[in-house]
Amino acid sequence: MFLPARLLDPAHAAAAVLVERGETLAVAESSAGGLISAALLSFPGASRFYRGGLVVYTLDGARTQLAGATTPAPQPLRGACEPFVRYLAAAAAELLRADRAVAETGATGPAGNPYGDPPGHAWVAVAPGQAEHVLTGSADRDANMVEFAARALELLRRALGA
């Protein structure tokens, strides 16, 4: 498999718990670019828990992709912050009719984002549940993508008690 163990290990641990409990999961990711979903989908039998995923890369994309959700969007709408990642998780769970969701939003690099956040800045969240801030201190785009996905999957694993 082309994905590193840093992604696969927490993804498979979380997947096993979801299958055991009969729970479903949605994914909404931004700067991780699909790595969270790819790691979860590498689990054999992923169709038993994985409801779907969204790569919500821009605020315009968020408005379009999440338009049907009744979950209120934070105002003003701003990416790469705690209220937005919590909204991504809750809206994804609602739209995809999942018991839980994992979400990520950030700035991978090599530069920061329009809000003044540095490269290596992200937020990850699990709905229902908690959110965490990620700061890598790196402008390495590829490394940050993997780190953001890994931190989201690790948060999901912990939230499930896996």
Query: pLDDT-derived band of residue 9, with 50, 70 and 90 as boundaries?
Result: very high
The owner of tokens 């499930």 is 160
Instruction: Specify the pLDDT at position 11.
Output: 98
Please tell me the distance from the alpha carbon of residue 119 to that of residue 79, in angstroms, as a whole number: 14
Mean pLDDT of the chain: 96
Rounded CA-CA distance 127/149 in Å is 16
* Contact between 90 and 97 (Cβ < 8 Å): no
Q: Are strands 100-107 and 121-127 parallel, antiparallel or unpaired?
A: antiparallel
Say if pTM beats, i.e. exceeds, 0.75: yes
On the question of pLDDT at 2 being above 90, the answer is no
The pair of structure tokens assigned to 28 is 């909404």
Tokens of 69: 């959700």
Tokens found for residue 149: 């996905």
Residue tagged 């979903």 (tokens) = 37
* Preceding amide of 110 cis, omega within 30: yes
Give the integer Cα–Cα distance in Å for 132 and 114: 21
Q: What is the pLDDT of residue 62?
A: 86
Sign of torsion over alpha carbons 8, 135, 108, 152: positive
The pLDDT-based confidence of 1 (bands split at 50, 70, 90) is low
Dihedrals phi, psi of 9, to nearest 5 degrees: -60, -55
59: pLDDT strictly greater than 90: no
Q: Enumerate helices (H) and strands (E) in the chain, giving the number of each.
A: 5, 5
Q: How far apart are alpha carbons 24 and 106 in whole angstroms?
A: 25
